[in-house]
Amino acid sequence: MNQILVTQKLYITPELKKKKRAYKMSFIACIIVMILLIGMYTYANYDRMKNEELSGTILADIDFQEPDETEANSEDETTIDENENALIVAITKEQVIEETVNSNVEIKEEEKKNIISGQYKASNGKTYSIIGIINIPKINVRYPIISETSDALLKVSACKFWGPNANEVGNLCVVGHNYKNSKFFSKVPTLTIGDIVTITDLNGVTVEYEVYDMYTVDPADTKCTSQLTQGKREVTVITCTDDTKQRVVVKCTEKV
């Protein structure tokens, strides 16, 4: 028995101990790397969600609606107290409606001045230059269009990559991220010929554009940004393929 114990003890050599330590260190390192990757992935998703919320806030503020008169149609009226013969001016429902509508119009007009100027100050304190709204009903896409493109701005919303402003003659090129989910331009590759893309400018004018061509190109190929439209209004929607190696180009022309 003693011989067996001694033999087992002698079998665990210094080299074997080093290998065990190396395996343990490698295992611990793998766990740390996995934790870091999970953390980075979680933060990236959180960051995308926050930027999606910011985009929604911008859209809500620049998407002007008619004043809601529902709340204005309240039944509250001030009546004259005949017992005390007090001189009280009755506020009618029509006056309430008028005052509420006028107040809402003043607020909306002030907001509109800020938006038409091309500058929008968001809740995060940053100022964004907005040129309009892109809407693709088939894939439930509706985002404000920021007037320039950068990595930081692409995280917030769709961006103007090249061309004129919204609904002007020429080829307005709009780019957006493909997150391979339902956000931003992720579902743009699923569009087909004949689908509709609408652009609303800062004056509230909406123009419909119809998809007439779709293809993929190398990231360095910028032929799709050409402004030779023969005097027509066109829109080019651009995003990445799911593997990010190429670009999906969706060509649209004004629907007649």
- Which residue in 195, 172, 187, 194 sits closest to 239, CA to CA? 187
48, pLDDT greater than 60: no
97, pLDDT greater than 90: no
Q: Which helix (H) or strand (E) holds 234?
A: strand 233-240
Please give the average per-residue pLDDT across 75-100, as a whole number.
41
What one-character-per-residue DSSP string does 156-174 give? Answer: TSEEEEESSSTTSSEEEEE
Contact between 141 and 135 under an 8 Å Cβ cutoff? The reply is yes
Residue 219 carries which DSSP code? T
**pLDDT, position 14:** 75
pLDDT digits (tens, 9 = 90+) for 12-44: 677 777 777 777 777 787 778 777 666 665 655
**pLDDT, position 39:** 61
- The more confident residue out of 24 and 3 is 24
Contact between 238 and 161 under an 8 Å Cβ cutoff? The reply is yes
**pLDDT, position 111:** 45
